[in-house]
Amino acid sequence: MADSVKKAFDTGTLLRIFSFAKPYRRTLYFAIVMSVVLACLAPLRPHLIQLSVDRYIKNNLLEGLLRISAIHFGVLLVETLLRFWFMYRISWLGQTVVNDMRKTVFRKIIFQDVSFHDKTAIGTLTTRTVNDIEAVNDVFSEGIISIVADILTIIAIISVMLWTDWKLTLICLTTFPFLIVATYFFKESVNKSFQSVRNAVAALNAFTQEHITGMYLVQAFAAEQREMKKFEAINREHRNANIKAIFAYSVFFPAVEIILAVSMGLLVWWGAHRMLDYEVTAGVVIAFVMYLNLLFRPLRMLADKFNVLQMGMIAGERVFTVLDSEEHLNDNGSFATDRIKGTVEFRHVRFGYKENVPVLHDISFSLAAGKTMAVVGHTGAGKSSIISLLNRLYEPWGGRILIDGRNIREYDINNLRSHIGIVLQDVFLFSGTICDNITLRNSDIPKQRVEEVCRMLGIHDFIMSLPGGYDFDVMERGNTLSQGQRQLLSFARALLYNPAILILDEATSSVDSETEHLIQKAINTLVKGRTSIVIAHRLSTIRRADEIVVMEAGNIVERGTHDSLIAAKGHYFQLYTAVEKVKEREQL
């Protein structure tokens, strides 16, 4: 907690937040100037009231009273317009900075290494991108600029009060020590509550995101009640944190009203006493009533604004944690080419997802351009890690990976990935049309090209059978389509970009037998003339490979063709026999 508070008032964090306002520094300077102008205007109206009472009403000078009333109205109008423009501009500045900051954070998230996403909850990143950045907006709209304006207003009012009658001012301000104490306890209480609320919001977002995504699993295992109890516990923490903040507000604002009432009482008592002795005029007392109201108005909100500023800076610190993360490719290469042949070579590659927990041990193999290699092995053998390294989603611990004889580190990352097509087992579709998901919303690709690719794969008729055809809305994650249908669309997505290297990661393992024939036809079309690495369980896919690599516990234990590996009666023979037995049981 102490660390969070310390960070909240870190000047470096505040300056870094304001660095996003550099392109809009004219608006920032305008807001600062306006805060000074409004502070100077704040005590002007009570002073005009004092003049009206002491000079014109007391002496029955109607013409002068009308004139000063007109001036009073003009000052009120000007102050209202300036305050409106001031509030609008600082709110505009805050929202504009939030817009820029959110784009920066999302760009950072998109280009982060996959390892960053492996250990960071989606709900947490959602909170950083949405809730925390929105809190940064308060640093501008209700934070530092507004606080400066309020402090200048307080200084201006007290200065005028002292200039008008310093004795009466001191009497009125005798309650200030009590206000300072109340403000301190209020600020500390609300600060703790707000930090608890922020943590609870992050936990709620993460929990909700995860469980809505996995709702099928929750319901399939009848775990609704258990998960509901967990949600209730997290939600209860969020409620309790908010209630603590509400309690602090409920105590503080009535306390401020009592302190103001006491100040008013002292003003009336002392002012009336001095009026009887002709030491103070009625105009001064009336003006002081207005001064006190104007003085306590910002004082009521100042502690709350300090908390808003503090929480905005804490949120900013969390956002900067994401921006400062270095889990991305720092050594992006510069080599780019329009076309590659597609030869792939691994030389003594070692890799692991966690430190000191290797997944791949000294992996070496070569694959000629246009050839197909199947990678088989038990779950956890390291098959998927090979394709993740080839696509530079992760960096190897040691060894080299070459494409066309050139280290993939030398390639520009975007250029490298443009030559590699991937079809995964768990197909992810975005909300939108079939055409949008195949092109990934690339407006440069005409619809005719999409239809041409789908006809080539033999899936055009299937798409046209759907309502709307290529404009059919697949909904979130493609929930309106079957697993096989989603798989077919992923084939079209891969072929559309005409990659030289194709990766199929168990792309047929979850497909029903009725759709398998169509998918096998699509696979044959995809791999034709391309370097292909296929991770598959179905023997029909494996048998067509030019070479089969068998992996076990992160090592290549066998290599060869289907027939040669069967004849060797080693690891592949055992896998093949096990699959055949499962197939026989399914037929029974």
Contact 97, 21 (CB under 8 A): yes
Residues 6 or more apart in contact with residue 77 via CB below 8 angstroms: none
Task: Tell me the one-letter amino acid at 518.
Answer: L
H helices present in 165-223, as ranges: 166-172, 176-213, 215-220
Q: Judge whether 6 lies within some domain.
A: no
Residue 285 shares a structural domain with residue 374: no
H helices present in 343-477, as ranges: 383-390, 413-418, 434-439, 447-457, 460-464
Predicted local confidence at residue 508, as pLDDT: 52
Our count of domains for the chain comes to: 2
| For range 113-134, the mean pLDDT | 75
Most confident of 72-81, 330-339, 539-548: 72-81
pLDDT digits (tens, 9 = 90+) for 269-316: 888 888 877 788 888 888 888 888 888 888 777 777 777 777 788 788
Res. 516 pLDDT band, cuts 50 70 90: low
Predicted local confidence at residue 587, as pLDDT: 52
CATH code for the domain in which residue 486 is found = 3.40.50.300
pLDDT digits (tens, 9 = 90+) for 251-263: 888 888 888 888 8
Using the predicted structure, report yes or no on whether residue 427 has a pLDDT greater than 90.
Answer: no
146-155, 206-215, 315-324, 405-414: which range is least confident on average?
206-215
Predicted local confidence at residue 7, as pLDDT: 46
Token pair 């209020």 is found at 186
Using the predicted structure, report yes or no on whether residue 156 has a pLDDT greater than 60.
Answer: yes
Using the predicted structure, report yes or no on whether residue 115 has a pLDDT greater than 80.
Answer: no
Predicted local confidence at residue 195, as pLDDT: 73
DSSP 441-460: T-TTS-HHHHHHHHHHHT-H
Pick the closest to residue 315 from 137, 95, 100 (CA basis).
137
Q: Is the dihedral of CA 448, 449, 450, 451 positive or negative?
A: positive
Q: Judge whether 330 lies within some domain.
A: no
φ, ψ of residue 310 to 5 degrees: the values are -65, -45
Residue 428 shares a structural domain with residue 291: no
Q: CA-CA distance, 353 to 112, in Å (whole number)?
A: 15
pLDDT digits (tens, 9 = 90+) for 450-500: 888 888 878 888 888 888 888 888 877 667 787 778 888 888 888 888 888
Predicted local confidence at residue 537, as pLDDT: 59
Using the predicted structure, report yes or no on whether residue 169 has a pLDDT greater than 80.
Answer: yes
Pick the closest to residue 368 from 415, 419, 403 (CA basis).
403
Predicted local confidence at residue 163, as pLDDT: 92
Q: Judge whether 144 lies within some domain.
A: yes
Q: Judge whether 558 lies within some domain.
A: yes
Task: Tell me the one-letter amino acid at 46.
Answer: P
Q: CA-CA distance, 502 to 499, in Å (whole number)?
A: 7
Using the predicted structure, report yes or no on whether residue 218 has a pLDDT greater than 50.
Answer: yes
pLDDT digits (tens, 9 = 90+) for 31-57: 889 888 988 888 888 988 888 888 888
Element (H, E) at 560: strand 555-560
Residues 6 or more apart in contact with residue 303 via CB below 8 angstroms: 183, 186, 187, 190, 252
Using the predicted structure, report yes or no on whether residue 330 has a pLDDT greater than 80.
Answer: no
Pick the closest to residue 373 from 533, 537, 561 (CA basis).
533
Predicted local confidence at residue 5, as pLDDT: 42
Residue 440 shares a structural domain with residue 523: yes
Q: CA-CA distance, 438 to 496, in Å (whole number)?
A: 8
Greater confidence, 67 or 185?
67
How many residues in total does the chain contain? 588
Predicted local confidence at residue 2, as pLDDT: 39
Q: Judge whether 25 lies within some domain.
A: yes
Summary mean pLDDT of the chain: 81
Q: Judge whether 336 lies within some domain.
A: no
- CA angle at 516 for the pair 515 and 520, rounded to the nearest 5°: 125
Element (H, E) at 420: strand 420-424
CATH code for the domain in which residue 148 is found = 1.20.1560.10
Residue 63 shares a structural domain with residue 156: yes
Buried b (16+ CB within 10 A) or exposed e, 214-226: eeeebeeeeeeee
Q: Judge whether 443 lies within some domain.
A: yes
φ, ψ of residue 227 to 5 degrees: the values are -70, -30
Buried b (16+ CB within 10 A) or exposed e, 502-526: bbbbbbbeebeeebbebbbebbeeb
Q: CA-CA distance, 295 to 297, in Å (whole number)?
A: 6
Domain holding 436, by residue range, is: 370-380+419-587
Residue 581 shares a structural domain with residue 440: yes
Res. 445 pLDDT band, cuts 50 70 90: confident
CA 588 to chain centre: 52
Predicted local confidence at residue 401, as pLDDT: 92
Predicted local confidence at residue 506, as pLDDT: 61
- Is residue 113 left, alpha or beta, with left meaning phi > 0 and alpha meaning psi from -120 to 50? beta
Using the predicted structure, report yes or no on whether residue 509 has a pLDDT greater than 80.
Answer: no
Using the predicted structure, report yes or no on whether residue 342 has a pLDDT greater than 50.
Answer: yes
Using the predicted structure, report yes or no on whether residue 136 has a pLDDT greater than 60.
Answer: yes
Using the predicted structure, report yes or no on whether residue 517 has a pLDDT greater than 80.
Answer: no
Using the predicted structure, report yes or no on whether residue 527 has a pLDDT greater than 80.
Answer: no
Q: CA-CA distance, 429 to 69, in Å (whole number)?
A: 68
Residue 319 shares a structural domain with residue 428: no
Residue 375 shares a structural domain with residue 301: no
Residue 93 shares a structural domain with residue 177: yes
The CA-based dihedral angle spanning residues 377, 382, 384, 390, taken in that order and rounded to the nearest 10 degrees = -120
Predicted local confidence at residue 335, as pLDDT: 86
Most confident of 92-101, 266-275, 517-526, 532-541: 92-101
Task: Mark which of 285, 305, 323 sits at the end of a domain.
Answer: 323
Looking at the chain, the whole-number percentage of residues with pLDDT higher than 90 is 5
- Is residue 10 left, alpha or beta, with left meaning phi > 0 and alpha meaning psi from -120 to 50? beta
Greater confidence, 570 or 276?
570
Predicted local confidence at residue 579, as pLDDT: 65
Element (H, E) at 252: helix 224-276
129-133, 218-222, 391-395, 434-438: which range is least confident on average?
218-222
Residue 285 shares a structural domain with residue 376: no
SS3 call for 404: coil
Q: CA-CA distance, 137 to 518, in Å (whole number)?
A: 53
pTM of the model: 0.69
Pick the closest to residue 7 from 306, 304, 315 (CA basis).
315
Res. 8 pLDDT band, cuts 50 70 90: very low
**Cα separation of the two ends of the chain:** 64
Residue 291 shares a structural domain with residue 434: no
Contact 562, 549 (CB under 8 A): no
Residue 376 shares a structural domain with residue 281: no
Predicted local confidence at residue 402, as pLDDT: 92
Res. 348 pLDDT band, cuts 50 70 90: very high
Measured CA distances, 240 to 233, 237, 247, 250, 314 (Å): 11, 5, 10, 15, 20
Predicted local confidence at residue 60, as pLDDT: 79
Q: CA-CA distance, 44 to 46, in Å (whole number)?
A: 6
Res. 572 pLDDT band, cuts 50 70 90: confident
Q: Judge whether 264 lies within some domain.
A: yes
Residue 575 shares a structural domain with residue 460: yes
